[in-house]
Structure formats: structure tokens, C-alpha cells
């Protein structure tokens, strides 16, 4: 990778974090950078949805910076250090293991078979016995519900979800939560990405607000 821009980024981050570099960069931790990782990810989502290729390139670079930044911080850990090379090796190895139909003698003729094989290999690798194993509980609630419903179906867990939204009930936290769960489960059962659907409605709402303000 000598002479590549990826190697250049490694060198830039190393200089920023080393003595004589930037005090702000040197003080950062995994925890202090989490908000930036989320922020940059959302900004890339905005760029993709806008279709602006210049913004996409810039925002994807900001996401890449977060990956390299976290890897550089990890390199300084005294107990269990790892580098960006270790990170790249891990994900490359994973991709090879999870795609036996490409890199080995596995078979997959459709997208559905690819997904099935991926999940089966992942389950075997992780030794997961529960639908909850590996679910990031800190993710946004809508995405969390979708993930839990997906995992429940994969592990043959028959969850009970309210099928009817009673809008006549008082709108307390429990009632609203159950109503949202019902709608998300309805979307999931019909193959609709609830997050994507709601985001599109949010965009329409923002356009409506802008149009009203422009009158």
C-alpha cells in the first residue's frame, strides 16, 4: 500500500496523535468520538439521499476518518492494542468466510441463498443461541425494533405483537409504544423498511414546511 492515499491517511493520523502533534486529537478517546461517528454517518446518509456526488465523497471521507481515528486510538491501548491493518484484515477475512460461493466451494444461486448462508455461518462463528445475542441495544428504537423482529423470525421465536392500533386510548407512553410496535411489525411482515418509509415521509414533510414558508 506504499504511496497510496490510505497509507497517507495512516501517516497523517499518526502525526496528529504523536507528541508534537495536535493536542485535541491526542486527547480523544473512543467514547469522546462516538458522537462524531454518528454525526458523520447521518451526514453521509443525507448526501446519498440528495444524490450530490461531491457531498457523498466528502462525507464518506469523514466516515473513513472516524474509522482510522478509532483504529489509531486503539493502537495506543496498553492492554489490547490493534491497528488499522488488523481491522482491515479482520473484515477481509470475514468477507471471505461469509462468501464461500465466491472464495470456496459453497453454492448460492440467489440473493436469498446468499443471505441464508451468511446468517448460518455467522451464527456458527458467534456461537449464538439466543435471538438477542449481538443485538446493539443502543441503536435508535425504530431500527432496534426492526432488528429484534428480524432476529425473532430467524430464531423461530413467536413474539406477540398487538395487531390493532387503538387510537381512542389515552396517548400515554405505553400506548404510543405499542402503537408504534404494531406499525413497525406490520411493515416488517410486508417487507417494508420502516425507517426508509418514515424518512421519506419526513422529507415530504420538510418540503411541505418549506413550501408554506415560501408563500
207: its cell numbers: 418540503
pLDDT (tens digit per residue) in 49-63: 899 999 999 999 999
DSSP secondary structure letters along the chain = -TT-HHHHHHHHHHHHHSTTS-HHHHH--HHHHHHHHHHHHHHHHHHHHHT-HHHHHHHHHHHHHHHHHHHHHHHT-SSS---HHHHHHHHHHHHHHH-HHHHSS----SHHHHHHHHHHHHHHHHT--STTTT--TTS-HHHHHHHHHHHHHHTT-------S--TTS---HHHHHHHHHHHHHHHHHTT--HHHHHHHHHHHHHHHHHHHHT-
Q: Whole-number mean pLDDT of the chain?
A: 90
pLDDT exceeding 90 applies to what percent of the chain? 53
Which pLDDT band, with edges at 50, 70 and 90, does 132 fall under?
Answer: confident
The closest alpha carbon to 98, from 86, 80, 115, belongs to 115
Judged against a pLDDT cut of 60, whether residue 118 lies above it is answered with: yes
Distance (Å, whole) CA 61 – CA 12 = 14
CA 203/CA 80 separation, integer angstroms: 44
Q: How confident is the model at residue 127 (pLDDT cuts 50, 70, 90)?
A: confident
* pLDDT (0 to 100) of residue 81: 96
> For residue 2, what pLDDT is reported?
55
- Give the pLDDT confidence of 58-93 residue by residue, as tens digits: 999 999 999 999 999 999 999 999 999 999 999 999
Report the distance separating Cα 53 and Cα 33, nearest Å.
26
> pTM above 0.85?
no
pLDDT at 103 over 90: yes
Q: Sorting pLDDT into bands at 50, 70 and 90, what band is 16?
A: very high
Portion of the chain with pLDDT greater than 70, in percent: 99
> Is the per-residue pLDDT at 124 higher than 90?
no
Mean pLDDT, residues 160-173 taken together: 79
Name the nearest CA neighbour of 68 among 22, 21, 16.
Answer: 16
Which CATH superfamily, name and number, covers 5-80?
MazG-like (1.10.287.1080)
Domain with CATH 1.10.287.1080 in the chain: 5-80
Amino acid at each position: 500500500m506504499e504511496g497510496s492515499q490510505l497509507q497517507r491517511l495512516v501517516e497523517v493520523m499518526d502525526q496528529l496523535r504523536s507528541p508534537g502533534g495536535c493536542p485535541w486529537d491526542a486527547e480523544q478517546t473512543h467514547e469522546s468520538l462516538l458522537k462524531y461517528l454518528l454525526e458523520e454517518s447521518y451526514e453521509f446518509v443525507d448526501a446519498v439521499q440528495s444524490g450530490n456526488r461531491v457531498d457523498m465523497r466528502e462525507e464518506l471521507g469523514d466516515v473513513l476518518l472516524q474509522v482510522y481515528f478509532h483504529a489509531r486510538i486503539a493502537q495506543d491501548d496498553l492492554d489490547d492494542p490493534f491497528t488499522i491493518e488488523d481491522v482491515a484484515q479482520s473484515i477481509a477475512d470475514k468477507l471471505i468466510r461469509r462468501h464461500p460461493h465466491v472464495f470456496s466451494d459453497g453454492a448460492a444461486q440467489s440473493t436469498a441463498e446468499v443471505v441464508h448462508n451468511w446468517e448460518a455461518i455467522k451464527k456458527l462463528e458467534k456461537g449464538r443461541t439466543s435471538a438477542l445475542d449481538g443485538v446493539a441495544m443502543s441503536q435508535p428504537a425504530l431500527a432496534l425494533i426492526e432488528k429484534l423482529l428480524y432476529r425473532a423470525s430467524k430464531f423461530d421465536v413467536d413474539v406477540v405483537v398487538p395487531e390493532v392500533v387503538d387510537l381512542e386510548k389515552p396517548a400515554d407512553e405505553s400506548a404510543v409504544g405499542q402503537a408504534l410496535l404494531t406499525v413497525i411489525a406490520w411493515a416488517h411482515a410486508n417487507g417494508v423498511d420502516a425507517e426508509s418509509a418514515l424518512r421519506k415521509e419526513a422529507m415530504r414533510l420538510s418540503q411541505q414546511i418549506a413550501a408554506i414558508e415560501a408563500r
